[in-house]
């Protein structure tokens, strides 16, 4: 088995100034404390992360598209061993945090900077705030983010262990909200599985799944 790197780069974009903040997170620092990555502008937006005893990393990431933080749970193995992965906004589907080695993170930051300017141009937006929701209270129009967090963890965990199956067997897999909960789908063959979960408690019952087959 390869020795896993003990450090990972992580980046997010500040919802207020739009600038990217990149940090280096070490396994030891994370075991000892909560790690906070802060934008240098006056908004004081911050990405917070900590690790729990069961080896799960909890992250709270500012979302450029919703102007609120989203929370995620990622396994320690995934966080420190994958060279490149993203956390995406459950509502817009846009990537809001970039984790991996330095080269991948900086490449993804420039790729998404281009995507962002293209998006703003399409929407004829002059400032970031033009594409962000105004005066929206949490829970007003959005489904419960905790349901997404839990089911995303279920899917990523099964996928990492090779226990997520679909007809093509390739993935990648993604999640989307449905009326009755969420659906995981294979981007290659289109197979799906519906999670019937509209509350976090029901979503947590899926944590005990041993495997999952998309049809």
* Positions that interact with Zn ion (CB under 5 A): 14, 16-17, 39, 41, 43, 63, 65-66, 89, 91, 166, 168, 186, 188-189
* Of 63 and 97, CB closest to Zn ion: 63
* Of 11 and 30, CB closest to Zn ion: 11
Task: Assess contact for 119 and 89: CB atoms under 8 A.
Answer: no
* Of 43 and 213, CB closest to Zn ion: 43
* Of 91 and 153, CB closest to Zn ion: 91
In angstroms, give the least distance from the CB of 110 to Zn ion: 18
Bridge partners of 185, per DSSP, are 174, 192
In angstroms, give the least distance from the CB of 71 to Zn ion: 11
Contacts of 209 (CB under 8 A, 6+ apart): 154, 158
CA distances from 189 to 33, 85, 87, 214 (A): 42, 21, 23, 10
Task: Assess contact for 118 and 131: CB atoms under 8 A.
Answer: no
What is the phi-psi region of residue 75: left when phi exceeds 0, alpha when psi lies from -120 to 50, beta otherwise? beta
In angstroms, give the least distance from the CB of 169 to Zn ion: 6
In angstroms, give the least distance from the CB of 57 to Zn ion: 19
């Amino acid at each position: 088995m390869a020795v896993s790197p003990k450090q990972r780069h992580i980046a997010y974009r500040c919802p207020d100034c739009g600038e990217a903040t990149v940090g280096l997170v070490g396994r030891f620092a994370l075991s000892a404390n909560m790690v906070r990555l802060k934008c240098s502008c006056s908004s004081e937006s911050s990405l917070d992360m900590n690790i729990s005893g069961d080896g799960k990393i909890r992250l709270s990431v500012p979302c450029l598209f919703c102007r609120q933080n989203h929370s995620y749970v990622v396994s320690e193995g995934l966080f420190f061993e994958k060279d490149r992965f993203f956390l995406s906004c459950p509502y817009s589907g846009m990537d809001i945090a970039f984790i991996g080695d330095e080269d991948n993170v900086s490449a993804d930051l420039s790729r998404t900077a281009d995507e962002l300017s293209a998006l703003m141009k399409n929407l004829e937006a002059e400032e970031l705030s033009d594409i962000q929701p105004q005066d929206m209270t949490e829970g007003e129009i959005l489904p419960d983010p905790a349901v997404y967090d839990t089911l995303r963890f279920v899917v990523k965990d099964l996928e990492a262990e090779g226990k997520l199956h679909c007809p093509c067997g390739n993935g990648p897999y993604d999640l989307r909200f449905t009326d009755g909960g969420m659906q995981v789908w294979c981007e290659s063959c289109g197979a799906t599985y519906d999670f019937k979960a509209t509350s976090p408690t029901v979503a947590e019952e899926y944590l005990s799944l041993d495997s999952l087959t998309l049809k």
